[in-house]
Amino acid sequence: MVILAAFFLPPVTQPSDYHQFADQRIFFSIPDFFNVISNLAIFISGLTGLWFLVRLSRSSVRNQVFIETAECWPYWILFLSVVMAAVGSTYYHWSPDNDGLVWDRIPIALGIMALLSAVLTERIGAQVGVWSLPFLTVLGLASVVYWYWTEQMGVGSLNFYVVSQFYSILLILLLSMLFPSRYTRGTDIYQVVALYAVAKLTEVLDAEIYSWGQIISGHTIKHLLVALAVYWIVQTLQKRRPLQERI
């Protein structure tokens, strides 16, 4: 219902100065240097997650991290999306425009949907979470495609993209509060969401943060916080164990 409403509400347009980041310094012939290079942290965190899953697939203790093998699929999509987001964001910040931004936003949308699928898997049921993954993936992709299409049509509506992201995060929080995880460290999801929320705030305060000494911008801090949030997920997976009473 909320998603349908997004199509009929007045369009939320992208600010005309969206691509004008506060810190546009050039170093080593790399434009927008710090916004470009900070994607390396996101890339490493995503790669760390993928490497953990690869090693786990060859390990005899994989059922201590995933009770059912299918539960790992949302995390494969999540960490792969993170790696893709780092590459897409690097491409975008090298020469910021809407054509580059679409390759930044697609993996972000896919990653959030994959995290929602993982939460459904661990708190509602493996079958529900895994079966929802294709639908959620298509929904995330469609939200970006719709925005880009409306930009090409001269309207530029972010409604679907914003609603799908906001309500996905909200649903992750609600599920986490209402349904206990069948693994230890279930409350780690709150730290992950909090880090992402602060990252979005620093993105909004890009120029204000940069004005404090012109050392680092809010957008660069956003990249670093997102990388930390992803690494937090990796650490959670490495340390968690099944709760016997919920198996």
pLDDT tens digits along 96-107: 999 999 999 999
Whether 23 maps to a domain, the answer reads: no
Report d(CA 117, CA 48) in Å as an integer. Answer: 20
Q: Can you give the pLDDT at residue 57?
A: 82
Report d(CA 180, CA 245) in Å as an integer. Answer: 11
Whether 142 maps to a domain, the answer reads: yes
- CA pseudo-torsion sign 209, 215, 219, 221: negative
Whether 10 maps to a domain, the answer reads: no
CA distances from 206 to 19, 21, 54 (A): 12, 7, 36
Q: Can you give the pLDDT at residue 151?
A: 87
Whether 73 maps to a domain, the answer reads: yes
Report d(CA 149, CA 229) in Å as an integer. Answer: 30
Sequence letter at residue 238 = Q
Q: Could you tell me the CATH number of the domain that includes residue 102?
A: 1.20.1070.10
Q: Can you give the pLDDT at residue 85?
A: 97
Domain count, the chain: 1
pLDDT tens digits along 111-157: 999 999 999 999 998 889 999 999 999 999 999 999 999 988 878 78
Q: Can you give the pLDDT at residue 209?
A: 95
Whether 12 maps to a domain, the answer reads: no
Strand partners, 30: 27
Angle at the Cα of 20 from the Cα atoms of 142 and 103, rounded to 5 degrees: 25
Contact yes or no for 202/180 (Cβ under 8 A)? no
Whether 4 maps to a domain, the answer reads: no
Contact yes or no for 169/193 (Cβ under 8 A)? yes
Residue range of the domain that includes 37: 29-242
Taking Cα atoms as reference points, which of 118, 130, 139 lies closest to residue 233?
118
Report d(CA 160, CA 162) in Å as an integer. Answer: 6
Q: Can you give the pLDDT at residue 157?
A: 81
Give the mean pLDDT per block of 10 residues along the chain (247 residues): 54 79 91 96 98 86 79 96 97 94 96 96 91 94 93 82 90 94 93 96 94 92 98 95 70
Whether 15 maps to a domain, the answer reads: no
Q: Which helix (H) or strand (E) holds 127?
A: helix 126-152
Q: Can you give the pLDDT at residue 103?
A: 95
Whether 121 maps to a domain, the answer reads: yes
